[in-house]
Each structure stands twice: as structure tokens, then as C-alpha cells.
Amino acid sequence: MEKKRVLIIDDEENMRYMLQLTLESEGYEVEAASNGMEGIKRVHSSHFDFVICDIKMPKVSGLDVLASVIESSPNIPVIMISAFGTIDTAIQAMKQGAYDYVMKPFKQDEILLTLKKAEERERLRLENQFLRQEVERKYRFENIIGKSSQMQEIFRKIEKITNYKSTVLVTGESGTGKELVAKAIHYAGNRKELPFVAVNCGAIPHELLESELFGHVKGAFTGAYTSKPGLILQAHRGTLFLDEIGELPLNLQVKLLRFLQESEIRKVGDTQTLTVDVRVIAATSKNLAKAVEQGAFREDLYYRLNVVPLYLPPLRERREDIALLVRHFLKKYTQELGKNITHIAPESMKVLLGYEWKGNIRELENILERAIVMTEGDTITTEYFPQELLQLPSQIIVNIPEPWISLKDVLKEITHITEKTLITRALKRTENNRTRAAQLLEISHRALMYKLKEYDLSSPEIP
Ligand SMILES: Nc1ncnc2c1ncn2[C@@H]1O[C@H](COP(=O)(O)OP(=O)(O)OP(=O)(O)O)[C@@H](O)[C@H]1O
Ligand SMILES: [Mg+2]
């Protein structure tokens, strides 16, 4: 492991010497400076992991050094050495951002322990930074896959709106990526360091929803033993994602509207209001405009939410994204699961391209994950696709060559593929017993034999 570098700044030679020996014997790489000015120069010209600095030095004091280090390298922990009579200064140094201080005279262990603690804090800080980058990487734009013109339009829109506080209403069928888009808006914007709080309005019982969202004070209702901040407050200066907004009961719609208009909330049971700064992104797979017509959703709230509408079209209306998504998930899951799958059979791709995808991208993702888990070779075949995927007639639709227009020809092709698929399935199910297969298909044995020949299935390989 690489040695950690420590800079000691002290005007007392004995002290420098003692510290240097102690630290070097513990495996640190040490440099020493005999006055504040020299110390500052070294910090500027070289890299150190820690600085240990005496408070009381002539000319450039420990506090001056501290201020300079914090300005140029705010992440280096600075440990101050405080002598008798400088304890107040040591506390002031802490306030200014010193990591810690030790009192003279100190034992060797004391300074080592302080360094170890600082090292641990530094490790945690880096880990945290890494995790935050991970989250950002996960939700940054490029992770929303889509080359279709509809998705490109959505990307352009997201880019435009990230840094504004305007309310966004994301709509689209289940699994079209509403939550993903909401997170992308948050993590691409200037609120990314602050919380993204997601609430599923449909998943929390109505009677709890108000206090979940707005919080409550102690004793507000039976069981409210302590006061609670509420999710809106938790999202302060960040983003609140209100999923399934169509499920919000009418009484809370009023309260939400008030919050959106005034940027104020009142906890359940409280007489005070609190001002909050929250960006709201709402999502729904329902037709909210229709809910408004039916009186289930307040019109004023609808308009207040729908400042920036973002509609995610179903996957079947942007089939050009399917192949790209398949490749994306293939890469993601082979990596995650440690599989070595490099190909997807053309037949499988055809099936995926033609399917209806009622569950949209979530359905596609789940089906691929399962296929990747189950596949032993290096190629995804249709073997581990669920039955409904192999069931007609969607795959046929894409199989129809573009110039075809004759209804007769197309229907013949559809019948052809349908029959072939069903016969293969029946044979598989009966383990190649043709008599029973014919029974299942409800055709005569002779008809089956004829069709087997017609479709070139006479010696089918039934796995
Ligand atoms: N364009 C996309 N690119 C990559 N992955 C996507 C895309 N859209 C959705 N996904 C993935 O599909 C899954 C479903 O997305 P998400 O949860 O955002 O959908 P949703 O619209 O919120 O669905 P629901 O209405 O059911 O809550 C997630 O795993 C998400 O990462
Ligand atoms: Mg969702």
C-alpha cells in the first residue's frame, strides 16, 4: 500500500524530531517545516494526506497556515498542536475547519490515534464521493436509452428543464421509465447533491398519507408519540417525486395545491406554517385529464402540476429503441450476473422486436434478465422466453416484408406461421407423439401429417 504523507509544521526542533520519528516508525512518510511560511509553500508545491501544525509560531501562526491549507486543499485534514494557554485558539481553529487538536504535552499514541481517526474520515469521505458518483452515473441521461425521435425530443426537453424549479408531470404507461426520467431530471440539475425523495401516493394508505407527506406534531392524533418531519420537509432544497399522483385523495389535493402555490406546509396538528423549497415532479400512468372530467382530480391542481408535461410513449410506438435497449440490458445483466453471453440469436431479436410490450421497458428488462440467468451458452435463444412472447401474432407483423400489401398473401403468411408455431408447440408438449399432438390441435392425424410435410417439420428437432 502507498504510504500516507504527513507534513509537520513546528518551530521547535525537538518537537519536529520526535513527531517525525514516531510517525515514520508507524509507516508514514514525513516531511517537516520549521515555520509557517515554509509549511504553506510545501502544501502548495507537493501532495500531503495530513498536516500537523503547531498553533503558536512566530510570524505566520498556526491559524494562518490552517486558513491557507483550507483554501488551497480543503480536503486535507489539519491537526493542530496546542500548548498550554492556547486552548481557546485551538477551539477557534476547529471552528475554522481544523480536523482536531492535541494538547501539549501529548503521548505518542495520542497523536497516532488522531491520525488514524482522520484517515478513517478521509476513507469515508472518498467512499461517499464514490457512491454519489455512482448514483449520478446511474441516472445520468445517457442511461436513458432511446434513439427514436420521441425519446430524442424527451432528452432535449429534460436538458432544458433540469435547473428550473417548475413542476413536471411525467405521464406514460406502466414501465415506460417515468421514475427513471424523474431521477434523471434531479441528478442532472443543480439540486443533485440534495435529496431526491420518492413517494408512491398509491401505496400509502389514505389515512396515513397526509402525515407522511406533511409530517405531524407530537400528539396530533392517537399514536403520534413524537413529532415527524414529513417527506416534503425531507426533500427541502431537493426534489420530491410524487408517483401515482392520480391516487391522491381529494382532501390532500387541496393541501398539495396550497403547498405548490405558497411553498408552505403545515404539519398535521400544527398551527405554524413552514416555508420549504422543493421541486416537485409528479408521475401518473392514469389519464389525469379524464380524471379531471370525472371529478376525481382537481382541475386547478392538474394545471398547477402540468406546467411542464413529459409524455413517455409506449415501447411499441418506438420500436426502433428495442434493439438498443436489448443491447443495453444484455450488457448490464451479463456484467451484473457475471455471465459470458455475447450474442442474441436473430430469431430471438425478431420476437423481441415484434412483441406488444404491454409492460413496456420493465417487461423487456425482466424477460431479458431471466433469459440471461437461464442461458448456459453464449447466445440468447428463444428457449427461455416466456410463452406469451412466442405467441403470435405480433412477431408476424414485423415479418411482413414492406412491399406486401395483398390481404390474401399476408393472411396466408400469418396462417402459415401460426400453424407452424402451434404444431411445433403441440409436438413439444406431447414429446413428439403425433397422435396426441393432432388431438391437442384438434385436427385429424392425416391433416397433421400433411402439414408436417408442408411446413418441413417431418423430422422436427424437439428438444
Ligand atoms: N429509456 C430507458 N432506458 C433504459 N432503461 C429504462 C428506460 N425506461 C425504463 N427503463 C427501465 O425500466 C424499468 C421501469 O422503469 P420505471 O420504473 O422508471 O417505469 P415507470 O414508468 O415508473 O413504471 P410504473 O408506472 O410501473 O411505475 C426500470 O428498471 C428502468 O430503469
Ligand atoms: Mg414508477
Give pLDDT tens digits for 341-396: 988 988 888 889 888 899 999 999 999 999 999 999 999 999 899 988 887 655 55
Residue 368: name the closest of 356, 350, 380 by CA: 380
Residue nearest to atom 15 of ligand 1 (CA): 177
Q: Assign 400 a pLDDT band (cuts: 50, 70, 90).
A: low
Cα pseudo-dihedral 400, 405, 409, 415, rounded to 10:
50
Taking the CA of residue 361 as reference, the ligand 1 atom at the shortest distance is 12
Q: Choose one of 180, 245, 317 to mutate for the ligand 1 pocket test, by most ligand atoms within 8 angstroms of C-beta.
A: 180
pLDDT of residue 224: 80
pLDDT of residue 463: 40
How does pLDDT run across 41-87, given as a tens digit for each residue? 999 988 999 999 999 999 999 999 999 999 888 889 999 998 877 78
Q: Assign 10 a pLDDT band (cuts: 50, 70, 90).
A: very high
Q: Which residues form the pocket of ligand 1, taking CB atoms under 6 Å from any ligand atom? A: 144-146, 172, 174-180, 285, 325, 328, 361-362, 365
Look at 166-170, 277-281, 454-458 and tell me which has the smallest mean pLDDT. 454-458
Q: Is the dihedral of CA 414, 416, 421, 425 positive or negative?
A: positive
Tell me the percentage of the chain whose pLDDT exceeds 70.
93
- Domain extent listing, the chain: 5-131, 140-313, 316-397, 400-454
Residue nearest to atom 16 of ligand 1 (CA): 177
Taking the CA of residue 177 as reference, the ligand 1 atom at the shortest distance is 18
| Assigned CATH topology for domain 140-313 | Rossmann fold (3.40.50)
* Average pLDDT, rounded, for the chain: 88
Rounded to the nearest whole angstrom, what is the distance from the C-alpha of residue 176 to the centroid of ligand 1?
5
Mean pLDDT value across residues 131-160? 78
- The CATH number given to 316-397 is 1.10.8.60
Angle between helices 407-429 and 445-454 (to 10 degrees): 110
pLDDT of residue 129: 77
Shared fold status for 5-131 and 140-313: yes
Taking the CA of residue 365 as reference, the ligand 1 atom at the shortest distance is 12
Angle between helices 445-454 and 434-441 (to 10 degrees): 100
**Alpha carbon distances (Å) from 220 to 226, 248, 258, 275:** 9, 21, 20, 20
Length of the chain in terms of residues written: 463
Instruction: State which amino acid sits at residue 109.
Output: D
Helix, strand, coil share (%) of the chain residues, nearest 5: 55, 15, 35
Cell of 384: 427461455
Q: Choose one of 143, 321, 361 to mutate for the ligand 1 pocket test, by most ligand atoms within 8 angstroms of C-beta.
A: 361
* The pLDDT of residue 397 is above 60: no
Count other Cβ atoms within 10 Å, centred on residue 66: 23
Residue 77: name the closest of 63, 94, 98 by CA: 98
Q: What angle do CA 270, 271, 272 make, to 5 degrees?
A: 95
Cell of 106: 501529548
pLDDT of residue 429: 85
Euclidean distance between CA atoms 87 and 84, whole angstroms: 7
Residue nearest to atom 26 of ligand 1 (CA): 174
Euclidean distance between CA atoms 38 and 151, whole angstroms: 57
| Assigned CATH topology for domain 400-454 | Arc Repressor Mutant, subunit A (1.10.10)
| Assigned CATH topology for domain 5-131 | Rossmann fold (3.40.50)
Q: Assign 140 a pLDDT band (cuts: 50, 70, 90).
A: low
